[in-house]
Amino acid sequence: MDRPLTTSGGGGGGGGIAGSLTQFSNCMAVNMIGVKYNIVETLTRHRKLNLQVMPKRAGDTAVITGGSRGIGAEVVKQLMILDMHVIIGCRKEAAGVKLIDKLRKEGIQSGSAEVLLLDLNSFESVRQFSQNLLDRNIPINILINNAGIMFVPKITTVDGFESHFQTNYLSHFLLTNLLMPLLVNGGSPYRVSRVINVSSVANFGGKINFDDLNMDKHYDKYMAYMSTKLMQVVSSKDLNARLKADGKPVRVYSVHPGVIYTELYSNLWYLQPIGCIVKKMFKNAEQGADGIVFVATSPEVGENDGGEFFMNCRKTVPNPKARDPSVQQKLWSASQTLVGLKSFVHNDTIEIVTMT
């Protein structure tokens, strides 16, 4: 399944001096957003999730992408403590198995977990992963779209898309739609299933250029990241409204886990010399997981909170573009076309038709 990707090299994709200035401006923008919210998080008490008083979820199933390391690994740990069955979708199955072994050695005996191959750089892999679960007819109570990349050079996936666009957004859009029948089966009028899109405060700097969604005309790694984080928030609000209008027991939320020093920051060369200092200033992976698991499982989060953007376990107003119905509709239509999927929502069932 691991097929080669095409790397264009460098951080830009043309544009000369003007393009370089734009990229510098976007670099400054995303860093200023990070500094702003790092200060906010430093001055705001972190809401620690008390798993001991949370309702146990024995018999429930959660699916998470990229759950073998970083924040995702901490999310898996917390969900297992809540006695859930966790399905980890990741590119390196051995890494997921290693994590499960590690958690058992740490003394976590509750819950269960399994690992399935999932490469978000490939729609074929997303479809195979989804079909595996559909064939097993496993009701899904929680889907956490966690995997992502940040600030990488221009890479074209096997499907022909810029890697931020496909990994962070398009493949998760496809995955969520393909798994929707199982999410519907996992929900009820008394407790809806939840889809969690792990976004970022970087969405505040994002712009969606519908004339160049794939950044073929000009590539900017900073805007590539910010725009896909915005797409996640837009898509969360839009899909949630569609499901609510159709009476489906599924709600969609977006979450900023915190400004957290993970491997994603390895692409920022200017932070490496002060990495030890930065790590102390930022939240850690466990704290990032707290916010995600809170929105995924807490009774304090209701179905009427669907479509909302959360930060530190609190609803927060996102980028105004996320609340624009015209932007939501255009992104929905474009996304369906690009992933080759058409969704028919009926009164009683959701039928997913794959278009070749």
How many CA atoms within 13 Å lie on the side-chain side of 203? 32
Find the distance separating the first CA and the last CA of the chain, reported in whole Å. Answer: 19
Contact between residue 183 and residue 350 where contact means Cβ atoms under 8 Å apart: no
Helix (H, G, I), strand (E, B), or coil: what is residue 76? helix
Place of tokens 């691991």: 2
Helix (H, G, I), strand (E, B), or coil: what is residue 306? coil
Distance from chain centroid for Cα 274: 28
Q: Does residue 261 have an active-site annotation?
A: no
Query: Of 37, 219, 225, 261, which one is the catalytic site residue?
Result: 225
| DSSP H stretches of helix in the chain | 16-43, 70-81, 93-105, 123-136, 163-164, 171-178, 180-186, 221-245, 275-281, 285-297, 325-339
Distance from chain centroid for Cα 245: 24
Distance from chain centroid for Cα 48: 21
Helix (H) or strand (E) holding 116: strand 112-117
Helix (H) or strand (E) holding 196: strand 193-198
Helix (H, G, I), strand (E, B), or coil: what is residue 256? strand
- Token couple for 58: 């024995």
- Token couple for 177: 């739609």
Helix (H, G, I), strand (E, B), or coil: what is residue 266? helix
- φ/ψ of residue 210, rounded to 5: -70, -15
- φ/ψ of residue 290, rounded to 5: -55, -45
Give the active site residues: 225
